Chain A
Amino acid sequence: MAPRKTERILNLTICLLVSGRYLPKSRIREAVEGYHNLSDAAFERTFERDKDELRSLGVPIEVGSFDPLFDDEPGYRILSSEFALPAIDLDAEEAAVVGVAARVWRHASMAESTRSAIAKLRAAGVEPDASQLASLEPSVQASEPGFEVLWNAVLDRARVSFTYRDGSPRTLEAWGLTSFKGRWYVIGRDVDRAATRMFKLSRMTDLPRRVSRAGSYEVPADLDLRRLARSLAPREPTETAVLAIRAGKAPALARRGEPTTSDVKLPAGFAVYAVGFGDLHSAAEEITQYAADVVVLEPAELRELVVRGLTAVAESVAAA
């Protein structure tokens, strides 16, 4: 029965759009054929659902009084100035990048939202053409099961509850979502802890559920999601390590460093670099992976962590 429903909802839209003034429910019931063979109760239910569906698509249905003398029955209208997409004029290059954007999302409902946005742009006269940028293929994945619920919660400002990996139940006013290294994080106010928190979606152990109406909270006006997201990135270097690196090895480390010298007598083929690091443990993990190709000369505490790590690897297999 989907075509009949589509037909009814489209006729309702046209009816409210052309009337120009507030129409009472009784008039709408007469005007829209899809409401004709319904009982009073069924009509009320159907009309409410249709209205909700249109609003969820962003159709601005206004409620007001259709007649100042009889204000007991509310009326409904859609102003075409509120309904219509404002004029948008993209040049060929801009239209081409929009065409590439059409194929970015690897998530069914996000791809559908993008497709629908681009259909509107086409209807407004934009002709996206991605053929000249065919060799660029950006993609965004969202494989976490909770993504869609959280995305809609952010858009609707509806509270959500979920269980986090440590077993704790959480209720969150979600402000925004951010993807870092291909993994999604949600940021918001943890209601029970009354504090700003960030959660990794893949560490939620159940599906988030909505626990409030839409519009239940305000997102802080000064929210800077990009700044919060940057806290996920490695810390800026604050300290310097002196490393001996075998020629041609560990290029990522050598390139970050500045050549320097050391009193330690090194085997042939090693060069000494001063390399900045932010976090001692992360630096130790990174350096340990290069095994004998990188020698930590300073600081001693970094060297100890690396030596301890190497010892654990050497023993973990020997013990097996």
Chain B
Amino acid sequence: MTSRAQVRRLLSLVPYLREHDGVAMTDVAAAFGINVRTLREDLSVLWMCGMPGLTPGDLIDIDMDAVDGEGVIHLSNADYLTRPLRLSADEALALVLALRTLREIAGPGKREAVDRALKKLEAAAGNLPATDQATVAVTAARDDIQARVNDGLQRRKRLDLTYDVASRAETTRRMVDPLRVFVLDGYGYLEAWCYNAGGLRTFRLDRIAGIEVTAIDAAMHEVELKDLSTGWFEALKDAPLVTLELQPSATWIAEYYPTEAITTRPDGGLIVSLHVTDPAWLRSLLLRLQGGARVLSPPGAGDSAAEAAQEALDQYAVLLGAAAR
């Protein structure tokens, strides 16, 4: 722990403890996002601080018997630190960006609360540089869809979902029990128990074409939700690896999808390996890249894309004759 972080925390801890006389150590630790041992160290530092002069009467007083006995904190003799320090630029901007990201999946009702909180925070942050110096774009659902997703989530109702499966380019209809809405890498998702698939599934909010909140109560499901801190990588790591040779025009995919290994070629192209969970996804990627990517391994992984392309070309020839070629 750096002294800087500790100083910053102590300047908040003193006014907090003045306001919450007799608060339990465990509650304070939870509120400040630290463990009880760190809090105990904080208190022993505070105990040595106070007014210039540093006679016992000048020092901040903490009842250490109560701390080590009942595990509660009584702090006094710190009348000069009744208010926390104002927000610094990094704190204000980090919090504002976090709130704006929440706003994108909050749905119309909670969005108003976010806007009110933002306004009050920006007023309290006062003379700081504009909080417009950073933005986060989130692709989420239309308002009416977002509202129903959140309604089903809050009232724990089963949802009747019309969903576009991108990799298969198909619309599907399914019944799901909503478990969580999250944002990862700029997209909003609904995580739900899907009755059609018989398992936990993740739906991109912007691909939900229609949704009805049913009267059926959502069931309890013993499932482990995705750990967001590992991004998509963790979920992909067991999927088979495909190695692609990319022309310079196609190298953007190395930035967009989690890749295992990257080698640069002299012409500016790349050789990348990535995990592929769904062969249909690879087929649509290869088609989209319009020949900018060639499959090096495993053999045959690109065949379905080539076949699909040939089928489409044959269809063009039949429909539009030579004019299409």
- Please classify the interface of chain B as helix (H, G, I), strand (E, B), loop, or mixed, using the class held by over half of its residues: helix
- Look across to chain A and name the residue whose beta carbon is closest to the beta carbon of B284: A289
A207 at the binding interface (Cβ < 8 Å): no
Is residue A243 within 8 Å, beta carbon to beta carbon, of the partner chain? Answer: no
Stretch at the interface among A67-75, A244-252, A272-280: A244-252
B90 touches A125 (CB 8 A): no
| Alpha-carbon distance between A13 and B319 when the two chains are bound, in angstroms | 81
A–B pairs, 11, beta carbons within 8 Å = A86-B124, A113-B90, A116-B5, A124-B83, A136-B105, A183-B185, A251-B170, A267-B319, A285-B290, A289-B287, A291-B309
Q: Are A310 and B313 in contact (CB under 8 A)?
A: yes
Q: A10-B46, A135-B153, A313-B306 are in contact. List 6 more A-B contacts (CB 8 A).
A: A90-B120, A136-B102, A177-B134, A251-B169, A293-B169, A313-B305
Name the interface residues of A199-239: CB closer than 8 Å to any CB of B.
200, 202-203, 219, 223-226, 229, 232-233
Q: What distance in Å separates the Cβ of B295 from its nearest Cβ neighbour in chain A?
A: 7
Residues on the A chain within 8 Å of B290, using CB: 284-285, 288, 308-310, 312-313
B4 within 8 A of A: yes
Contact A288/B288 with A86-B126, A314-B310, A320-B294 known, Cβ cut-off 8 Å: yes
Asked whether, in the complex, the Cβ of A138 is within 8 Å of the Cβ of B105, the reply is: yes
With known contacts A94-B116, A123-B16, A229-B137, A310–B312 Cβ distance under 8 A: yes
Please tell me if B114 contacts chain A, counting CB pairs below 8 Å.
yes
- Of chain A, the residue at the smallest CB distance from B31 is A122
A17 within 8 A of B: yes
CB of A96 within 8 Å of the partner chain: yes
| Contact A105–B52 (Cβ < 8 Å) | no
| Cβ-closest chain A residue relative to B33 | A115
Q: Chain A's nearest CB lies how many Å from the CB of B87?
A: 6
Q: How far is the CA of A56 from the CA of B88 in the complex (A)?
A: 8
Interface locus among A1-9, A38-46, A190-198: A1-9
Known: A122-B16, A249-B170. A255 touches B183 (CB 8 A): no
Does B89 have its Cβ within 8 Å of any Cβ on chain A? yes
B184 beta carbon closer than 8 Å to chain A:
yes
Task: Determine the main DSSP class of A at the interface with B.
Answer: helix
Interface presence of A88 (CB below 8 A): yes
Within 8 A of B (CB), among A112-162: 112-125, 133, 135-141, 143, 151-152, 154-155
Say yes or no: B89 contacts A58, CB within 8 Å. Answer: yes
Contact A57 B4 (CB under 8 A): yes
- A95: which B residues are within 8 A, CB to CB? 117
Chain A residue nearest to B186 in the complex (CB): A182
A291 in contact with B312 given A117-B94, A135-B181, A181-B137 (CB within 8 Å):
yes
Which residues of the partner chain B approach A180 to less than 8 Å between Cβ atoms? 137, 186
Smallest CB separation, B122 vs chain A (Å): 11
Q: Indicate if B211 sits at the interface (CB-CB under 8 A).
A: no
Q: A175 at interface (Cβ–Cβ under 8 A)?
A: yes
Q: Indicate whether B101 reaches chain A with its CB closer than 8 angstroms.
A: yes
From A313, which residue of chain B is reached at the shortest CB distance?
B309
B56 to chain A, nearest CB (A): 13
Given contacts A140-B101, A316-B306, contact A118 B95 (CB under 8 A): yes
Q: A33-B54, A86-B86, A291-B287 are in contact. Are A178 and B134 (CB under 8 A)?
A: yes
Q: Among residues 289 to 325 in chain B, which have CB atoms less than 8 Å away from a CB atom of chain A?
A: 289-295, 302-303, 305-306, 308-313, 315-316, 319-320, 324-325
| Closest Cβ neighbor of A113 among chain B residues | B94
Interfacial chain A residues near B295, Cβ < 8 Å: 317, 320
Please, which residues of chain B bring their CB within 8 A of the CB of A248? 170-171
Q: Check B90 against A151 for contact (C-beta < 8 Å).
A: yes
Given A84-B83, A100-B102, A285-B288: A138 and B183 within 8 A (CB)?
Answer: yes
Asked whether A63 is an interface residue with its Cβ less than 8 Å from the other chain, the reply is: no
Residue of B nearest to A284 (CB): B290
Q: Does A53 contact B (CB under 8 A)?
A: yes
Instruction: Name the A residues within 8 Å of B324 (CB-CB).
Output: 303, 307
Shortest CB-to-CB span from A82 to chain B, Å, is 8
Residue of B nearest to A86 (CB): B124
Contact A6 B10 (CB under 8 A): yes
Given A117-B92, A183-B255, A317-B303, also A32-B52 (CB < 8 A): yes
The reply to whether B102 and A225 form a contact with Cβ atoms under 8 Å apart is no
B8's contact among A57, A232, A264, A267, by CB below 8 Å, is which? A57
Residue from B104, B288, B292 in contact with A286 in the complex, judged by beta carbons closer than 8 Å: B288
Minimum CB–CB distance for B204 against chain A, Å = 11
Q: Which residues of B contact A140 (CB under 8 A)?
A: 97-98, 101, 136, 183
A7-B45 CB under 8 A given contacts A251-B169, A289-B287, A315-B291: yes
A174: min CB distance to chain B, Å: 9
* B229 beta carbon closer than 8 Å to chain A: yes
Q: Please tell me which one of the listed residues B44, B171, B231 contacts residue A3 in the complex, with CB atoms under 8 A apart.
A: B44
Q: Which 10 interchain pairs have the tightest Cβ spacing? A: A312-B291, A182-B185, A309-B290, A58-B88, A31-B52, A84-B83, A317-B306, A104-B98, A117-B91, A182-B186
Find out whether the CB atom of B311 lies under 8 angstroms from the CB atom of A291: yes
A179 touches B305 (CB 8 A): no
Q: A122-B12, A123-B16 are in contact. Are A114 and B91 (CB under 8 A)?
A: yes
Digit string of B110-121 for contact with A (CB within 8 Å is 1, else 0)? 100110110011
Is A11 an interface position by the 8 A CB rule? yes
Contact with A295, one of B87, B185, B305, B316 (Cβ below 8 angstroms): B316
Give the chain B neighbours of A88 by CB distance below 8 A: 120-121, 123-124
Q: Which residues of A contact B46 (CB under 8 A)?
A: 10
A2 contacts B3, CB within 8 Å? yes
Cα–Cα, bound, A69→B94 (Å): 45
Cα distance, A256 to B178, chains bound together (Å): 27
A101 an interface residue at 8 Å Cβ cutoff?
Answer: yes
